Structure 1
Amino acid sequence: MAAGKVTESRILIVGLGLIGGSLAAALRAAGYGADGEGEILACDPDEREIERGIEMGLIDRGGTRLAPLVEDAGLVVLAVPVLAMESVMTELAEALPQAASDVVITDVGSTKAAIRDAAVGVFGGLPANLVLGHPIAGSEKSGVAAANPELYVRHKVILTPTVDTDPVAVARVQALWAACGAEVLEMTVERHDQVLARTSHLPHLLAFSLVDTLARQDERLEIFRYAAGGFRDFTRIAGSDPVMWRDIFLANREAVLASLDDFEAGVARLRRAVAHGDGDDLLATFDRASHARHYFESLLNQTSYQAEYQMQQQGKLTFRASPGGRVAGRIRVPGDKSISHRSIMLGALAEGITEITGFLEGEDSLATLQAFREMGVAIEGPHQGRVTVHSVGLHGLKAPSGPLYVGNAGTAMRLFAGLLAGQAFDTELTGDASLTKRPMGRVADPLRLMGAEIDTAEGGRPPLHLHGGKALRGITYDMPMASAQVKSCLLLAGLYAEGETRVREPAPTRDHTERMLQGFGYEVQRQGDTCWLRGGGRLTAAPIDVPADISSAAFFLVAAAITPGADLVLEHVGINPTRIGVINILQQMGADLRLENEREVGGEPVGDLHVRYAPLRGIDIPVDQVPLAIDEFPALFVAAANATGTTRLREAAELRVKESDRLQAMADGLAALGVDNRLHPDGIDIVGSGRSEGASYAGGRIDSLGDHRIAMAFVVASLRASEAIVIDDCANVATSFPGFVELANKVGLSVSQGSEEEA
């Protein structure tokens, strides 16, 4: 803990109950006052609490009167009940003129507007040295005897300074709580009270009400005797201090009532569903709540639900890939991410029940699934790749209660933009730090031509604000660059548009959207480089079997292609003609790669890919293959580094606006390993080692820039490195390829993962 940052000579805690006592205990545990230079004072109306605090070693001295203690204090913490704040502040205001001029005042109250208003009434305005705060921590126990030095460790403390609050005062309060091991955040007073009303005050109110209701039943003894753990867990908080919670509910009355109104509306919906036997409505609510609870828990534990939060407590996730190894066996990589996204989107808009198998349970796909739950779609699963979507039809989506978070999924955001542009309600689309840097003007601009109203952040970047209720009209759009995401976005918007929506692409791009629309019975036509559809139709639910993702398979294709003695089969891989650029390019480089067991599943061609080691040669990558392999180039660059001669890529500027600038990231990473390369605005030249055995380049440390494909490409590169390759910032691998490390080790690579400090 950062005890050294607390420079106050004396800290006065007013109110030596659980919160105030635990603050004193935490400061003591952090070493405050150990050198005799820092002193903790306390004021409490109960003299016995002061005596107990001194006996426990938590405070140095104290008393029941505030004025004598304020004179010696540099920082005053008001840890009294909310409704007692005004009287304490009045006493404090009378004592302050005799105190040091730089005294800082803060509080721990859980309702900030009431305390702010009390301060304004007492002081005639909000003092610049008053920093309102609230530690999100507590216990059912009370009194200084229950003081816990760990109470604030890894808990949040919310400060609510105004524009007039002294920044030095804020910094001193931040240092106080940081010394106790807390995470210090800031928000406005109004936002704090709204959030706490929903997440803390309302649950306590409901727990008190439920226990009181049951306790007044004639059969209450039987009810409580057989109550299960769930009842005990939910009602535990009803054992909290009744007086304190009475004060909180009264002080935060308006926000609590607003939260209670929302809750009562939700209960009323459930009551109607039960009364009418509406199983789909019940399932939609329960499933949405269940997965929201898992998401909430992942935020608390910093575990992986969205890549944004998949951070180890000690640092970012790092891979360590050791050189050597062999590549052999038969494996099936996870389901195709592009098709998984679309299966949920179109499945939700169809009429009937859509059964999906092979669904990719990665972070991006789960974000799409959760977004549709938030728009009222009942979804069962995923369970081992199986998902059941209780479809609502083209016009059955409901307004979400807040922004839709799509994590790191650029595909989801761009496709959602088209789908939501035609809805009757407003929507905000947001994502993680990486996604908010990616351009969205390429979809926003043509959607505006169709009549959509869309606001973006500076530079056309997320978040996107889509204003509903706009009449869309079909357009003919010539895409300036080949992009399946843009094409799909406009086709989805075209479902809601009057007339025809036509999209011409300058080069072939993946056609999963067109194939799936036709699979759901919606007519899509194509002639040459143009595809089109007419709005106003309907989709009918149909089963979807998601093939294995060729983008994920690409890493293992390259692993086998560069490793002497390799013999690997990748099963049930999607080989859509618009996606097989990686196969075509590897074969042109001389890879021993064959397609076996070719067939069609749900309108998508699939097959097994059998690859053995063979020496590779550098080539000039055909321009017509670039759009067909755009996501696979990080892996292909590793193949080029092991080939004989130079591999040249051009007309691939699209790589600069992926999760990272993949041209720059791969050029930097290859250079770190000693691979000669030259970067161009729209491509790269890579000079391969040409070695048929042994190491092709050195080891080293790589920054993946949070880009999952960069991270996985350099794991594959380790097979021919002379020393280990350490890859930083790898948490986002879960967004596209859950289980990558386990599968890589299964086929013969040597990969471990940990924090940056452990690597």
Structure 2
Amino acid sequence: MSLHINKTLIIGLGLIGGSLAKALRLNRQCGLVMGYDRDYEEAAKGLRNGVIDQAAESLVDAVAEADLIVLAVPVKAMERVLIDIAPFIKPDALLTDVGSTKANVVAAAQRVFQRLPSGFVPGHPIAGSEKSGVDAADAALFQQHKVILTPLAESSSGAVTVLTRMWQSTGAEVLLMEVEKHDEVLAATSHLPHILAFSLVDTLAQEQGKNTDIFRYAAGGFRDFTRIAGSDPTMWHDICLANKEALLGQLDLFSSGLTNLRQAIESGDSESMLGIFTRARAAREHFSRILSGTAYSQDMSNQQVTFRAQPGGSVQGKFRVPGDKSISHRSIMLGSLADGVTEVTGFLEGEDSLATLQAFRDMGVVIEGPVDGNVTIYGVGLHGLQAPPGPLYVGNSGTSMRLLSGLLAAQAFDTELTGDASLTKRPMGRVADPLRLMGAEIETAENGRPPLKIKGGKALQGIHYDMPMASAQVKSCLLLAGLYADGQTSVTEPAPTRDHTERMLSGFGYPVQQEGATAAVRSGGKLSATRIDVPADISSATFFMVAAAIAPGSDLTLEHVGINPTRIGVINILRLMGADLQLLNEREVGGEPVADIRIRYTPLKGIHIPEDQVPLAIDEFPALFIAAACAEGTTVVTGAEELRVKESDRIQSMVDGLQTLGIDIQGTPDGAIIQGGTLGGGVVESHDDHRIAMSFCVAALRATDTITINECANVATSFPAFVELAQQAGIKVEKEEG
């Protein structure tokens, strides 16, 4: 699609300017490409090499003709060039630049133009090479690289749109950022590493008598790090002057960190050294996940992942699903607050659990791993957390946000809890309101939704709280706040909910009083480090349990599954529906009961699900809806209004999806009425809800045609390898990205 630009002028035909010119000349999105360089021979060479269509001899004449002007000159030269061209720019022409600092370019433009033109949009392509000059021009230089545009108040939306499309036509990803933010970010991520590389090489090169050996025997790490010291010295001199304030700030931060590391090495402070190195490695791995598009710090709902499940098949085999998410969350939280070193095995390496882990790293806790489900936590004690450097981002994890709010309400420092677009829609007033009764100061967005801003330094008072709705997250939040509150904090639940927090507190040696439906703690105790073996997650196992229950010929054994009494609603409900389900090798591991679950196909029958089982299976209902759709007769679900405020309105999501597949289902305020029938094919929306997405994959086992499930990126929050394990078991599903 043409951008309606007849003539483009690139001023400065170095690596960046020449590469942009060559890319635009090849894709023909910006009309005739003219090139100007103060060394005309460079422009003439660009013409001979096919980089530009026309070599401009007169800068003034070329500017007067151009619809789009790109300043690809050194930062220091920007103002001089603007002075020369300003009187000759057409009123409706677009103007941009490629400088790696923006505030000084904008300041120069303000001095030259007085009133900035609406067509001016500063820009910065983050791409480069050790080569320079027009001979190095590479039309592919910007492919899969980022370009930052920094629109000004005066910039027209049309100019921003055209320049965005121009850069996108070269294969670049375009981001918008404020000028000040750009300079601050680039000072940390680009400018600081470059000047450190220059400084390191310069320092080592001056070591008399040693420099030859240093460089002769330098390992790959030294070569990789110092490669960027081969960049243009004049350009980096200019950048240091242009971005002086932001760069000095980053240098001060780095110097402080280096001083801390030196002190740790000098004093033999092993824990401090390990903390620095483990945090750095985790940050580097996290950075790699960002680049691959799989990091929890991204809004997963912005990623396009589709599941396509083919009809038929059965499930067979014996395997273990990933670790229990609820226990994984709590192992990090309580291990961080314990005295001593806690070792965790079976940790779930899903995005939700990793969000909790990263939050505690951000609060100064040294955590090694996870590696193959193994995590080592160097606890800081109940009062050892430190203020995080910024908001704590917990992605899609409601558990992280609700439980953390209880812990953070009693800390001495302010915190902010944020999440992705899906989490931002979920109600947090249910934890904020009772925490306020305890004396916490918490600010939420409209209607009690995230982000949560928690004021530090508040003295909490123990309360008794009768929960209006059964919720393990609310109960756990208040019990964790009770670890710090004056007196006793007790919570009474209207129906049993998972008790992992109470069990794990006891496992860490913290006394918990339990009497009937009430759990209580008093402040003043301490947590002592322990070992935790996280059992397989019954919520993840549920998808395969239902798969085996509905698909003829299935015989499946799921190993080491947690069968906590507060979580076995799905087992009880499937048995009531007639499922052939056996618990084998029952045992207790780390205070949690586990078993191997064998389930074989037998026809299911519709039932009225007992309401006392609903809280014990609240996360498993999307899959149970699929079981009901495949059962003979009618299944009635009541008392499940909690499903409407999960990652999606799970009642409505399942009703819409099953109706699309031809099932007679009617939603009610607190559940649904489902008539068993024949599942067809179709396109189903998961609404960024991991459990909805996985449930409809299972449905394909009994479908007559292909089921396509949209918006499946969030499956990574709880079950990263779901598709691979489903394929191994016999479900014919493929994942499509893009």
TM-score category, normalised to shorter length: over 0.9
Task: Report deviation, 1:266.
Answer: 0.8
Q: 1:288 to 1:494 in 2, by over 3 A?
A: same
Residue pairs, 1:334-345, within 5 angstroms: 334-345=322-333
Task: Report deviation, 1:164.
Answer: 2.4
Residue number among 159, 165, 169 corresponding to 2:159 in the alignment: 169
Residue number among 23, 26, 39 corresponding to 1:26 in the alignment: 23
Distance (whole Å) between structure 2 residues aligned to residue 47 and residue 381 of structure 1: 57
Task: Report deviation, 1:587.
Answer: 1.2
AA paired with 1:227?
A: A
Does 1:239 pair with 2:208? no
Aligned residues: 737
Confirm or deny: 8 A CA contact 1:299 1:309 kept in the other structure.
no
Task: Report deviation, 1:735.
Answer: 1.4
Deviations 1:298-317 (A, max 9, x none): 222324556735977xxx22
AA paired with 1:676?
A: D
Deviations 1:594-643 (A, max 9, x none): 22222211111112222222221111111111111000001111111111
Distance (whole Å) between structure 1 residues aligned to residue 237 and residue 191 of structure 2: 10
Does 1:517 pair with 2:502? no
TM-score scaled to structure 2, two decimals?
Answer: 0.97
Larger mean Cα displacement after TM superposition, 169-178 or 501-510: 169-178
1:732 match: secondary structure: helix
Larger mean Cα displacement after TM superposition, 180-189 or 334-343: 180-189
Q: 1:124 to 1:646 in 2, by over 3 A?
A: same
Residue number among 582, 590, 612 corresponding to 1:594 in the alignment: 582
Q: Which residue of 2 aligns with 1:740?
A: 722
Residue pairs, 1:120-159, within 5 angstroms: 120-159=110-149
Confirm or deny: 8 A CA contact 1:197 1:259 kept in the other structure.
yes
Confirm or deny: 8 A CA contact 2:697 2:707 kept in the other structure.
yes
Residue number among 12, 16, 30 corresponding to 1:15 in the alignment: 12
Q: 1:155 to 1:307 in 2, by over 3 A?
A: closer
- Percent of aligned pairs sharing the same letter: 65
Q: Which residue of 1 aligns with 2:454?
A: 466
Does 1:112 pair with 2:102? yes
Task: Report deviation, 1:343.
Answer: 0.4
* Unmatched 5+ stretches in structure 1: 690-695
AA paired with 1:42?
A: G
Residue pairs, 1:314-713, within 5 angstroms: 316-689=304-677, 696-713=678-695
Distance (whole Å) between structure 2 residues aligned to residue 453 and residue 205 of structure 1: 44
Does 1:179 pair with 2:169? yes
Q: 1:144 to 1:307 in 2, by over 3 A?
A: closer
1:135 match: secondary structure: strand
Residue number among 169, 188, 194 corresponding to 1:198 in the alignment: 188
Task: Report deviation, 1:224.
Answer: 0.7
Does 1:719 pair with 2:692? no
Confirm or deny: 8 A CA contact 1:407 1:431 kept in the other structure.
yes
Q: Which residue of 2 aligns with 1:78?
A: 71
Larger mean Cα displacement after TM superposition, 401-410 or 204-213: 401-410
Task: Report deviation, 1:455.
Answer: 2.2
- Superposition RMSD on alpha carbons, in Å? 1.7
Distance (whole Å) between structure 2 residues aligned to residue 65 and residue 288 of structure 1: 55
Residue number among 81, 89, 113 corresponding to 1:88 in the alignment: 81
Deviations 1:84-139 (A, max 9, x none): 1111111122x33xx42212221111111111111122222433332111111122
2:451 match: secondary structure: strand
AA paired with 1:53?
A: G
Q: Which residue of 2 aligns with 1:755?
A: 737
AA paired with 1:70?
A: V
Poorly superposed stretches of 4+, deviation over 6 Å? none
Task: Report deviation, 1:179.
Answer: 2.1
AA paired with 1:418?
A: G
Task: Report deviation, 1:154.
Answer: 2.2
Q: 1:536 to 1:125 in 2, by over 3 A?
A: farther
2:557 match: secondary structure: strand
Q: Which residue of 2 aligns with 1:45?
A: 38
Confirm or deny: 8 A CA contact 2:290 2:298 kept in the other structure.
no
Confirm or deny: 8 A CA contact 2:641 2:671 kept in the other structure.
yes
Task: Report deviation, 1:264.
Answer: 0.7
Distance (whole Å) between structure 2 residues aligned to residue 660 and residue 372 of structure 1: 27
Distance (whole Å) between structure 1 residues aligned to residue 626 and residue 197 of structure 2: 58
Task: Report deviation, 1:269.
Answer: 1.1
AA paired with 1:238?
A: A
TM-score scaled to structure 1, two decimals?
Answer: 0.94
Distance (whole Å) between structure 2 residues aligned to residue 500 and residue 233 of structure 1: 57
Q: 1:565 to 1:32 in 2, by over 3 A?
A: closer
Distance (whole Å) between structure 2 residues aligned to residue 133 and residue 307 of structure 1: 23
Task: Report deviation, 1:755.
Answer: 3.4
Task: Report deviation, 1:483.
Answer: 0.6
Residue number among 260, 266, 280 corresponding to 1:289 in the alignment: 280
Confirm or deny: 8 A CA contact 1:311 1:317 kept in the other structure.
no
AA paired with 2:10?
A: I
Distance (whole Å) between structure 1 residues aligned to residue 601 and residue 295 of structure 2: 35
Deviations 1:133-154 (A, max 9, x none): 1111122211111111111222
